[in-house]
Chain A
Amino acid sequence: MHVPDGFLDAPTSLATGTVAVVGVGLALRGARRELDERTAPLAGLVAAFVFATQMVNFPVGAGTSGHLLGGALAAALVGPWTGVLVMSVVLLVQALLFADGGLTALGTNITLMGLVGVGVGWAVIVLVRALLPRRTSSVVPAAALGAAISVPVAAAAFTALFAVGGVADVPLGAVLTAMIGWHTLIGLGEAVITALVISSVVATRPDLVYAARPLLADRSLEIRTPEAVA
């Protein structure tokens, strides 16, 4: 999923770079509200977590396996702004320390996986959460749908960039169909894994799931007296 150098032409890469700089700048302002001054250590640890999570291979069968992209997962766990920051730092470190994704394509990668992946994921989560009953468990289907939709949307965004700044004269309709078809499948896998991870965290530490916090405030302490139990 990491776009390498030379996949898009220089003007498009510079344009996505500008979009990424503006997006990350906004995220820096927004993240202060989500995490206060603990941002640096916490976001750093969450970035290390996202990076480690991408190393877990999920077997698909027939000897193939895939790994999580983590955009919607990060949005659900730490909120959209911190999520964008975390994904951007992960991509930056991957580009500079692991040569994974080109440096000139960093803006493209941050735009697609950071801004679009986290942003669309979060928008869907908020929408679904509003439609479902106000229970912490509602976050699980919300995050799943967020993951399922954000992955093909990011793929469609990539196709749009390829239409503008791609280096080949390929039939765009076919590329769009192939990209969206393939990434809908990937998105389904991402949705299942995201749902499983979120449900395991919600079961033990619902207070750590950012998307569940507004629902958590609704819960009140229930005191059961012996008469009420009997």
Chain B
Amino acid sequence: MGAGHGHALHVHGHSPVHRAPAHLKILGLLGFMLLVVATPGHWHSAFGLWLALLLTVVVVARVPFRWLLPRLVVEVPFVVFAVLMPFIAHGPRVDVLGVAVSESGLLAAWTLLAKGTLGVIAGLTLAATTSPPELVRGLERLRLPSALVQIAAFMIRYLEVVADDLRRQNIALASRGFVARDPRHWPVLAKSIGALFIRSYERGERVHLAMLARGYEAVGERPTPSRATPDGFVGKAERRRRAGGPSRHDNAADEPVWGRAAGERPVDHSPGRMPS
């Protein structure tokens, strides 16, 4: 479930795992998890091997187990499902502690728990060793469409700002004596979500206007990558050239285009470029 996390899980460190390029870590996680998912449930020793491999990475990355263990709770809803499995599944029954349970259901429950837990530990290790901007760069190196990378970059950049907006609204409600106890209080919470949407949307418009004011242009399908700065901000000389040159109008497609075309240099995700 998505509840309860306000900020990214990055744990600062200098281990080889922290230094590894993010796109290799994402590919590594994906490959490892595909192997784990494809492992048949009755290959118990294989799961031992996967766990040993994973724990080696965790130790090398110096991610504290005290940090890791409480965060396994994201699994809980599916643990409940897994625990029910032996009782509802078909097939021959076996006795466990005097209770007849389905043999195939028992195997399925074990498989779900083993694979799910390996997945959460591996995912947490990636999150702990990779900072959000590195992750965005990694996605870009993996050739994720640039529009998606940009949306993810903006989301990550403004996540804390929007979460802070929400926190301030909650403080304002609490200071007026509001405590959400039962569904009768939903209208108040929903109004605060509505206000949060308007604030977020208007912030998005302001961010876009401020970007335009700093020379951002929706770069066309035929951009001049050598002159435009990496993230679509166009330099003064280039703006002058475009304003005067004939190339401006033959390039003006009716269809709006993304702020950056494929094949250019990666976006600079360093903070401080964007207004808030």
Residues of A within 8 A of B (CB): 1-7, 9-10, 13, 24-25, 28, 31-32, 36-49, 51-61, 67-68, 77, 85-86, 88-90, 92-100, 102-105, 167-171, 174-175, 192-193, 196-201, 204-205, 208
Additional A-B contact list (8), CB under 8 Å, known A52-B166, A98-B5: A10-B34, A24-B148, A45-B203, A48-B200, A88-B148, A99-B123, A102-B33, A196-B186
Find A45's partner among B71, B158, B182 (CB 8 Å cutoff). B158
By DSSP majority rule, is chain A's interface helix, strand, loop, or mixed? helix
Find A43's partner among B104, B151, B191 (CB 8 Å cutoff). B151
| Residue B250, interface by CB 8 Å | no
Are A2 and B2 CB-contacts (below 8 A) given A41-B208, A48-B161, A49-B200? yes
Q: With a CB–CB cut-off of 8 A, which chain A residues contact B159?
A: 48, 51-52
State in angstroms the CA–CA spacing of A199 and B195 once bound together: 11
Q: With a CB–CB cut-off of 8 A, which chain B residues contact A28?
A: 145, 147-148
Give min CB distance, B222 to chain A, whole Å: 15
Binds A, one of B53-61, B93-101, B107-115, B241-249: B107-115
- B residues 1-46 near A (Cβ < 8 Å) are 1-6, 8-10, 26, 29-30, 33-34, 36-38, 41
State in angstroms the CA–CA spacing of A71 and B121 once bound together: 28
| Residue B234, interface by CB 8 Å | no
Residues of B within 8 A of A (CB): 1-6, 8-10, 26, 29-30, 33-34, 36-38, 41, 71, 74-75, 77-78, 85, 88-91, 102, 104-105, 108-109, 111-112, 114-116, 118-120, 123-124, 126-127, 130, 132, 135, 139, 145, 147-148, 150-159, 161-163, 165-166, 180-183, 185-187, 189-198, 200-201, 203-205, 207-208, 211, 218, 255-259
Residue pair A85, B127 in contact (C-beta under 8 Å): no
Give min CB distance, B137 to chain A, whole Å: 12
Could you list some 25 contacts between A and B, CB below 8 A? A7-B112, A7-B115, A32-B255, A37-B258, A39-B151, A41-B205, A45-B155, A49-B196, A52-B162, A53-B193, A54-B2, A61-B183, A67-B2, A94-B2, A97-B10, A98-B74, A99-B9, A99-B74, A99-B123, A103-B29, A103-B119, A104-B30, A168-B112, A197-B194, A201-B194
State in angstroms the CA–CA spacing of A37 and B187 once bound together: 34
State in angstroms the CA–CA spacing of A210 and B57 once bound together: 46
Give min CB distance, A62 to chain B, whole Å: 9
Residue pair B163, A52 in contact (C-beta under 8 Å): yes
Q: With a CB–CB cut-off of 8 A, which chain B residues contact A168?
A: 85, 89, 104-105, 108-109, 112
Residue pair B204, A46 in contact (C-beta under 8 Å): yes
Q: With a CB–CB cut-off of 8 A, which chain B residues contact A44?
A: 150-155, 157-158, 204
Residue from the set B126, B152, B163, B205 with the largest chain A CB neighbour count within 10 Å = B152
Give min CB distance, A50 to chain B, whole Å: 9
Residue from the set B115, B151, B183, B187 with the largest chain A CB neighbour count within 10 Å = B151
Find B183's partner among A41, A42, A59, A170 (CB 8 Å cutoff). A59
When C-beta atoms are compared, the residue in chain B nearest to A74 turns out to be B197
Residue pair B150, A40 in contact (C-beta under 8 Å): yes
State in angstroms the CA–CA spacing of A55 and B30 once bound together: 27
Give min CB distance, A78 to chain B, whole Å: 8
Are A104 and B33 CB-contacts (below 8 A) given A37-B257, A201-B198? yes
Residue pair A196, B8 in contact (C-beta under 8 Å): no
Q: With a CB–CB cut-off of 8 A, which chain B residues contact A174?
A: 88
